[in-house]
A and B are shown apart, each in its own frame.
Chain A
Amino acid sequence: MFAYYLDLALRSLKRNKVLTALMVLAIAVGIGASMTTLTVMHLLSGDPLPGRSQHIFYPQVDASPAGYAKGGPLDMLDYRSAVDLWSAHRADRQALLAGSDVKVRAPDARVPPLMVPMLATTSDFFAMFKVPFRYGSAWTAADAASRARVAVISSNLNDRLFGGADSVGKTLRLKDSDVRIVGVMDAWRPSPLFYDVRAGRFAEGQTSSFYDKPEDVFMPFFSGLEVNDGNFWQFTCWGNVATPGHLQDAPCVWVGLWVQLDSAAKVADYRAFIAHYAQQQKALGRFATTQTRMPSLMQWLVFNHVVPSDVKLQTWLAFAFLAICLFNMIGLLLAKFLRRSSEIGVRRALGASRGAIFAQCLVEAGMVGVVGGIGGWLLTLLGLWLVRRQPVEYADLAHLDIGMLGLTFALAVVASLMAGFLPALRASRVAPALQLKTL
């Protein structure tokens, strides 16, 4: 029966090519627009660390004077609190991080000096965030303890300086120090760059910089602070900084601490630990408040409104557009089905049930949906190509994955079936006697 309906639908669609083309075009354009924006949304609002993110937390305490931090602790930690919490080693894994720009020269490569972003971090960083390596590996805890001059570089920097060759063991000149490369990261593009997300709630929705690429140079935290002293970025300060870029003793927050806690009990313990730390520091007179916060990774992303407001707006717009396309298709299908009232009357008179007419009409609508889905898929590819040409940080991420491809067709078919429902119902209620009389 289904094959027969398909045949009927095909014939009917062929009979009025213009109307069919209009319907296919409408659904294709609607699907193309909404799938393009939905794909971007999906890429930007996804989990940057699938399978691990639920165990990753961002503890915060507040060393700023009373009244300075409103609505919870500041987004980063002061040096002393960060180092205290880190050296207590209460979590399964823990990483300190501090950002700066560093001057890079490679004695082996004929490239003029560059400034690249550098992250000073601790050795757990790579294991905790599942960073892939192309050559070599992370530095060891012993390297970190002996303040060895070692570094991990990004594949991007490795390509620029060494043409992609294995550069492990080679020397880089970072600022004024010689540093040995111990590892080269493989392509790694968490979306967003979650460990650097902060201050999103002050960004007026302009958050596309959260989707930037990871840093190019990674150094052990303490030796990194020595090597690139004078260049570190503060998040905010509540007092004068004697030497900008040297923040160890400055009244500033500038260090991030990420921890991995593998069980609910450990999470509760760690919350108690930082609350206790804050109380202890207040008792010592170093803290003015005991406020703490420890969002999980995904909670932290939500708190920072990571998805740029323009992207959300585009998604709304695309769905309004899809709705218009659907209204359009309902109207056209109605016209198409009712135009065949006399044919339907004959079929009804010959014994076809209402259900059969309804099913036949829906098959026709579904067929439009499938063809429209193909068109929508092509338009989605075009749309994503346009997104990739946009001057935004996340442009290179915009690709269609298998899941979204499936969703494109599912959306097209579901949308066209929904659009076909009302016209099909109308068509199935055509009174056969009236139609036969006018025949």
Chain B
Amino acid sequence: MQIKPILSALRKHRLSTILIALEIALACAVLCNACFMISQRVSATHIDSGVDETSLATVQLTGYDSTQAPDVDARALAALRAVPGVQSVSLLNSIPFGSRRGTAGITTDAAGEHFGGVIEFYVGGPGSLQTLGAKLVAGRAPQMDDFHAFTGFMPDEGSVQITQALAEHLWPGADPLGKEFWVLKSHYRVVGVLKSLVRPDPTGWTPEQRQWSVFLPAQPGPYLTGSYLLRASPGDLPRVLRDALAALAKAVPEVVIDRENSHTLGELRHDVFKNDRAMAGMLVGVIAALLLVTSLGIVGLASFWVQQRRRQIGIRRAIGATRSDILHYFQTENFLIVTGGIVLGMVLAFAINLLLMQRYELPRLPLYYLPIGALVLWALGQLAVLGPALRAAAVPPVVATRSV
């Protein structure tokens, strides 16, 4: 296939060629960035929670005073433990993907000079870390005498388990066991490291911050109450939760069951990422519409060119060109235009990515998106041009002998 005659023919249609190439370039840039954003959103929804989500559910009670708490708590716990199928019930102030009650800023020195970041304190009663199923990778789990009674938001000292991600952030490269940190005057010592434990509200934080959690053991009391973690076998969980809510309505009729926040952890995870899923869905829709419009543009222009060149095609056929020669001519022409568009599009894709990195703190576009985007557009171009090109190949040589 000779490319030179095609190029000189395109020079005659400079404007249309440039337009189609620009359209392809813009499509390529949007396609690469939109696909990248989709993958970011989808990978965000797959964040590792570090807990046995499939066997966990939570029940939230509100609408009672701290003075009533011990009584309400005793009745609620008794009712929950009596529900058939419940393997364990424990108290935990914050719930992964659910209620958030322990967000605080920490410092890595007693004077409060070195700010460590805003982290999540999971303040839990005895057994709650086991109920969660969070995996310990170093140090030890909480022991009975780690659970202190407290007033206020949380105990003002304690031996805690922190996530690997937080340990690496606070003390990069160092062994976190035995390290200390402070919240104002409250003092905590690291005795264990958890593989991961997601924050209750991961979407409000940067990807790096989403695992900045600490488990702080505490005795149930007036301020650790009403937020229960239930464990049951995965298949049985929806039924157990339903029965638990019904049992609570009977056992503690005077309090308000916060049904909006009482769900299985699977449901809570689904809810937390609803925006990301909606956005990913929208991006998929845009990409589909984009490819459709681009291919329609190629079809329209190629049809026009075929019709315009009917006579020339007839002449070429009359002097010996085969049908496949004509077919290949249009296919090659399309390939050249799309290639031009893709080259420009890659530059544009990176420019847009730079802009997004600044404005939306998106990471850099991985290079492998570019060849994939190019392949998609090449395939799209060839598919779109096939119809008009076949029509061109079907032009009979006799056309050459007729004027117009």
Contacts and interface: CB of A to CB of B under 8 A. Distances in A.
Contact of B282 (A19, A314, A338, A426): A314
Contact of B279 (A112, A310, A426): A310
Interface string B288-322: 01100110110111011101100000000000000
Interface string A328-368: 10111011101100000000000000000000000000000
A331 B20 contact: yes
A435 to B, nearest CB: 12
B210 to A, nearest CB: 10
Contacts of A426: 15
A382 B293 CA distance: 18
A33 B283 CA distance: 12
Interface string B245-289: 000000000111010000000000001001100110011001001
Contact of B256 (A30, A113, A203, A324): A113
B328 to A, nearest CB: 22
Contacts of B241: none
Interface in A1-37: 19, 22, 25-26, 29-30, 33
A242 B308 CA distance: 85
Contacts of B156: 240
Contacts of A321: 30, 286, 289-290, 293
Contacts of B289: 29, 33, 321
B17 to A, nearest CB: 9
B112 to A, nearest CB: 8
B186 A240 contact: yes
B66 to A, nearest CB: 7
Contacts of A390: 278
Contacts of B29: 320
Contacts, number: 145
B103 to A, nearest CB: 10
Contacts of B271: 391
Contact of A22 (B16, B206, B300): B300
Interface string B11-51: 00001100110110011011000100100000000000000
A328 B23 contact: yes
B256 A115 contact: yes
Contacts of B294: 324, 328
Given A115-B258, A317-B30, A321-B286, A335 B63 contact: no
Interface in A222-267: 230, 238-244
Contacts of B22: 327
B151 interface: yes
A302 to B, nearest CB: 15
Given A310-B279, A392-B275, A204 B206 contact: yes
B169 interface: no
B308 A339 contact: yes
A101 interface: yes
A328 B297 contact: yes
A391 B27 CA distance: 29
A103 interface: yes
A22 B301 CA distance: 11
Chain B CB within 10 Å, residue with most, of A33, A240, A320, A331: A331
Given A101-B62, A391-B278, A244 B301 contact: no
A50 to B, nearest CB: 29
Interface string B175-193: 0000000001110000000
A368 to B, nearest CB: 13
A331 B153 contact: no
A103 B289 CA distance: 49
Nearest to A336: B304
Interface in B351-404: 356, 359-361, 404
A168 to B, nearest CB: 25
A327 B279 CA distance: 26
A328 B151 contact: no
Contact of A310 (B254, B256, B275, B304): B275
A103 B256 CA distance: 8
A323 B185 contact: no
A378 B168 CA distance: 53
B37 to A, nearest CB: 8
A243 B222 CA distance: 10
Dominant SS among interface residues on chain A: helix
B173 interface: no
Given A22-B296, A115-B256, A327-B22, A332 B301 contact: yes
A392 B283 CA distance: 17
Interface centre among B22, B294, B297, B308 (most CB of A within 10 A): B297
Nearest to B29: A320
A252 B297 CA distance: 61
* Interface size range on B against A: 35 or more
B203 interface: yes
A179 interface: no
A136 interface: no
Nearest to A236: B105
Interface string A199-220: 0000111101000000000000
Interface string A280-319: 0000000000000000000000000000011011100110
A422 B360 CA distance: 36
Contacts of A98: none
Contact of B204 (A206, A320, A335, A392): A206
Contact of B184 (A22, A239, A328, A331): A239
B186 A115 contact: no
B223 interface: yes
A314 B280 CA distance: 11
A339 B304 contact: yes
Contacts of A332: 297, 300-301
A204 B63 contact: no
A114 interface: yes
A22 B22 CA distance: 18
A438 interface: yes
Contact of A244 (B16, B152, B279): B152
A338 B13 CA distance: 11
Contact of A327 (B258, B297, B305, B307): B297
B62 A335 contact: no
Given A208-B275, A240-B152, A324 B300 contact: no
Interface string B214-226: 0000000001000
A331 B203 CA distance: 42
Contacts of B16: 331, 334-335
26 contacts: A113-B63, A115-B62, A115-B256, A115-B258, A204-B361, A205-B360, A208-B275, A240-B186, A241-B152, A241-B153, A242-B152, A243-B151, A314-B279, A317-B34, A320-B29, A324-B23, A324-B27, A327-B20, A327-B23, A328-B296, A328-B297, A331-B20, A334-B16, A334-B19, A335-B301, A422-B15
**Nearest 5 Cβ contacts at the A-B interface:** A335-B304, A328-B297, A103-B63, A327-B23, A331-B19
Given A29-B289, A244-B152, A321-B30, 11 more contacts: A203-B204, A239-B184, A244-B223, A313-B37, A314-B279, A320-B30, A324-B27, A324-B30, A331-B20, A334-B16, A335-B301
